[in-house]
Amino acid sequence: MIHHTSDVQSTKVGKDTRIWQFCVVLPQAVIGDDCNICANVLVENDVRIGHRVTVKSGVQLWDGIEIEDDVFIGPNATFSNDPFPRSRRRPAEYTRTRVRKGASIGANATILPGVTVGEHAMVAAGAVVTRDVPAYGIVVGNPARITGYVDANDTHRLQAVTHPSDSAPQPEKYKKITELAGCFVHELPKIEDPRGNLSVVEFQKDVPFEVKRCFWVYGVPGKEIRGEHAHFECHQFLMCVAGSVQLVLDDGHDRAQVSLDRPSLGVHIPPMKWGIQYKYSDDAVLIVFASHLYDANDYIRDYGTYLHHVRQLRAA
């Protein structure tokens, strides 16, 4: 069960444990039964691994690390044993790091020296664990923070209704009227007054299509993206009358980004242009004038499909 390319110097490897390609196991290491040690794993001397442990590729277990039964260690998860390392200055004793029974260390997580990861805890992929993780805790981020607990079956995140939160608006630069990726940016008149401001659109003069519908989008969490579709037939005219939003325009060939950050900007998106809105500020209200009533069949929601149609149109 030990691949011939590996250099396993320890004799304390348990029953049914498999060790794959290019591993190194030093003589004092202890490995339990029924483990799975994937390719490219290194195990130093002062290391104890329990039973039924999985260690994925790219992991090193340094002196001072203890892994209990049923632990999972994801690929490239990284341990260390010196909290303030300098080349060739070795601490008198290595800090001990413990991973308790049933815990799971996510892919590419970093575990700082001296930390204990509790029973059945779940360290998210990419987390940088700087302090102890309680039993059943789920930790995420850099530095890792608890974001929830594992449910009774130990297979899901405990449900709690979470609400997203968002970002304050930032003004962007003033932009002149221009054409971008087949769409048209307009500066609308703005009448400033100490008693309040006013902007105006005259439909027959300013909007290059007959308006049949007006809708507005608001209360969009800052991390959401809206749009991400094209229309076969419908024209749209977008204005952000409060807050701000970023607009990506795409005609299948050119792409451009517009910051709708003041009420006097308007963007005309003709049919067969791909549009994305993102970075909505908390208070953003996006007004859209449309040339058609709502029709689900007028939407192209897949970018590949959209590109396919663009190419067909160009060929035609």
Catalytic: which of 229, 235, 253, 292? Answer: 229
Q: How far is the CB of 15 from a copy of itself (least distance, A)?
A: 15
229 as an active site residue: the answer is: yes
Q: What amino acid is encoded at 101 in this protein?
A: K
Residue 208 or 219: the one with the smaller Cβ distance to a copy of itself is 219
* Amino acid, res. 163: H
Q: For the sheet with 110-111, list strands across it.
A: 7-8, 24-25, 42-43, 60-61, 78-79, 110-111, 128-129
Which residue lies nearer to a copy of itself by CB, 30 or 42? 42
- R_g over Cα of the chain: 29
Q: What is the DSSP letter of 57?
A: T
**Pick 40 or 64: Cβ nearer a copy of itself:** 40
Minimum distance, C-beta of residue 19 to a copy of itself, in the bound complex (Å):
13
First-to-last CA distance in the chain?
Answer: 62
- What are the beta bridge partners of residue 229? 275
Residue 225: CB minimum distance to a copy of itself, A = 7
CB of 59 to a copy of itself, least distance (A): 9
Q: Which is nearer to a copy of itself, 164 or 176 (CB)?
A: 164
In sign, the C-alpha dihedral spanning 22, 109, 83, 52 is negative
* Residue 299 backbone dihedrals phi, psi, to 5 degrees: -95, 140
Cβ atoms of 105 and 77 within 8 Å: the answer is: yes
Give the catalytic positions in this structure. Answer: 229
